[in-house]
Structure 1
Amino acid sequence: MNSAISSIDDTDRALVHALQLAPRASWERLGSVLGTRPDTLARRWERMTSAGEAWISGLGLRTGTRAPCMAWVEVLCEAGSSPAVGSALVRDAHTMGLEHTTGGRDLLVFVAVPDLHTLYRYLYFRVQRIPGVTGTRSSMVTAVHTAPDRWRLDQLTPAQTDLLTGRTRRAAAPVIPAVGSAAAMPEEDRPLVLALAADARRSVASLARESGMSESTVRRRLGRLEAGQSLRYSCAMASGLSGWPVAATLWAEVPEYEVAGCAAVASGLRETRTCMSVSGPWNFMISARLRSIEGLSRYTADLSRRLPGLRITDTAVALHVRKSEAQELDQLGRRLRTVRPDIWQDPAPDA
């Protein structure tokens, strides 16, 4: 057995699941829910984060009152050049995710920028000028129905989940605001948000020291950003250790009047990680986490059975997820480093 896999146990996965639900909860609160000593949980988390096996990142990509401009970019490369092209793109702040995939593209890249003009500059003065790139095809994200920070492991009991989320079994699930409905993020808050990109559990005291603000000011700003959904937290475990090692992407066509219903059903499936409306020859895009390659056919069959109006037009399996939500990853999905997601910088300053 792989020693890295055997070092992770169910208590570690339960801790990650708990932090997915309550990213900045105290160790005392987490310990009371998980039935484990707080100092033991803190040591486990330190071990996992030091090894890149788990992490919590903070992302806030808004520009004032506007949501970021996001796109999926398919990159075609000369034979043998895709690893080098991937290495160049993975270091870019505007590249939030990057996969080497099967199918009709060499790389699938998720890009976030402040506006359409910046996307134009990034595509034509950065991506298409990398040696080895022979072509690109872009699909604009027109709506985010399910974001990756909503995907969860499945280690906790319903009662433990309720304790962490503050829900009761009779209460309705909270409505998660769509990306476009989040509150404004003032430019002055960007340094605070970027400081959380690598470690969203940083203490208020450390953030205050770095920013030069008082702790009360930092606490107040964090509360406002969290309440307005301008700042979102994402807790992840290395895919090779989580029990869900396979990443797949599906493209589909859905009648426009059925998009909302299809999104609700697709988002409710256990494997669905993201669900978005996009522009282009298809209008629907889903990414999923699977326990095995064989699970892809079962997942697509389940989608088709539940959604007769949805027509899957293409699928791709990730051979290597090199970056996810600004985190550069190794082949097991462990974090190597954080690429500071400063999407407001000029992507091609020398153009």
Structure 2
Amino acid sequence: MISALQIAPRAPWSDIGAALGISGITAARRWERVRREGLAWVTTAPGLVRHGAQSLAYIEVDCPPARRNTLAAELSRHPMVLTVELTTGNADVFLTTAAANLTAMSHYLLDHLSHVEGIVSTRARLATHIFAEASHWRLSGLERDAVRLLERSRDAQPGAPDDGPVEMTAQLQRIAELLNEDGRASYTALAAATGMSATSVRRYVHALLRSRTLLPRTDVAAEHTATPVQVYFFVDAPVAEYAETAKSLTKFREIRVCATLASSPGMMICAWLHTVEELHRLEVAISTRLPKVHIADRLVVLRTVKRQGRLVDSSGRATGTVPVNIWDDRLEHPAPALVSLE
């Protein structure tokens, strides 16, 4: 069920059921149970792969040990923070943060994050290009015929062509928030929640998906999969070979995310592994296939607090949502102090 929805997050239940050999009604009922238990959910992510104007940053946060849980909970309430994780290594709390542009990102980093109580220091690594993101990662393989059926269903949904970025009006932002809460929300449900007509909602959703401003995705509680260990690797590689290196790295099934960074090391990958020991096996496999690649640092995730807008508990189950909004900074920032020139 989850694998099917990873391929086609917004496919009709009739297609999901046909791929699994069950009725659409049965598929919908089973999914509702999985979703209600917090084991998996359909959401949408900002389409940062396509539109370079948007800004993504990976932020390492240092804080006193006694503040880690409280600080992570506070940061998870920020709409521009996509993901919050407690990690080993050089970061107490690790954030994935997005903004509409570099100006908005700078505003968040300089005028808000730096004033959050309990933070000792931060290090932000700006992404320059995302070669792979988690919406393309799959749990396990389905039968080939089932995959083909689901791919046809997915391609029949709005979102295949790339019509370029759209202007994020207040109406589009509201729909984006609702789709972040429930990526399978129907046009009727969205219309009821926004007060718009179903026709207008359909047009807006099509614009968001066709422009790839939003990417539908199905997330799963990692702790309840065969790959519960999440690791970030910071990687050095020849700058002239970044694209080719990224292409090779994304062929490893364990790797969910691959991005280049405006920092040193110049690349970051995220992998889901079976055990912590497998971390070194993956490193050996990477160095064997890509001898010019050097892994400079690692962060092992101890606990995820927020994943792509979804609040999760210590077992990885979804418990609530803080909708992602990268287009409208709703946080209150400290007023600048007035300095007399006299």
TM-score by length of 1: 0.87
**Which residue does the alignment assign to 2:318?**
335
Please state if 1:88 is matched with 2:74: yes
Among 135, 148, 164, the residue aligned to 1:149:
135
Indicate conservation of the 8 Å contact 1:60/1:193, yes or no: no
**Which residue does the alignment assign to 2:167?**
186
Matched ranges for 1:1-351 at <5 A: 15-60=1-46, 67-166=53-152, 183-188=164-169, 189-343=172-326, 344-351=328-335
- Pick closer, same or farther for the CA change 1:303–1:182 going to 2, 3 Å: farther
Indicate conservation of the 8 Å contact 1:21/1:164, yes or no: yes
Cα shift readout 1:288-313 (whole Å, capped 9, x = no counterpart):
11111121111111111111121110
Once residues 348 and 282 of structure 1 are traced to their aligned partners in structure 2, the CA distance between those partners, rounded to angstroms, is 33
TM-score by length of 2: 0.89
Once residues 106 and 149 of structure 2 are traced to their aligned partners in structure 1, the CA distance between those partners, rounded to angstroms, is 46
Once residues 88 and 82 of structure 1 are traced to their aligned partners in structure 2, the CA distance between those partners, rounded to angstroms, is 10
Indicate conservation of the 8 Å contact 1:248/1:288, yes or no: yes
Per-residue deviation at 1:215? 2.1
- Runs of 4 or more above 3 Å deviation: 346-351
Per-residue deviation at 1:331? 1.6
How many residue pairs get aligned? The number is: 324
Indicate conservation of the 8 Å contact 2:54/2:102, yes or no: no
Give the root-mean-square deviation of aligned CA atoms. Answer: 2.0
Structure 1 unaligned regions, length at least 5: 1-14, 168-175
SS, match of residue 133 in structure 1: coil
| Aligned-partner residue type, residue 205 of structure 1 | T
Indicate conservation of the 8 Å contact 2:304/2:314, yes or no: yes
Indicate conservation of the 8 Å contact 2:76/2:306, yes or no: yes
Indicate conservation of the 8 Å contact 1:275/1:285, yes or no: yes
Indicate conservation of the 8 Å contact 1:99/1:322, yes or no: yes
Indicate conservation of the 8 Å contact 2:55/2:98, yes or no: yes
**Which residue does the alignment assign to 1:11?**
none
Indicate conservation of the 8 Å contact 1:59/1:232, yes or no: yes
Per-residue deviation at 1:96? 0.6
Per-residue deviation at 1:182? 7.0
| Aligned-partner residue type, residue 84 of structure 2 | L
Structure 2 unaligned regions, length at least 5: 154-159, 336-342
SS, match of residue 206 in structure 1: helix
| Aligned-partner residue type, residue 243 of structure 1 | A
Indicate conservation of the 8 Å contact 1:121/1:348, yes or no: no
| Aligned-partner residue type, residue 86 of structure 1 | A
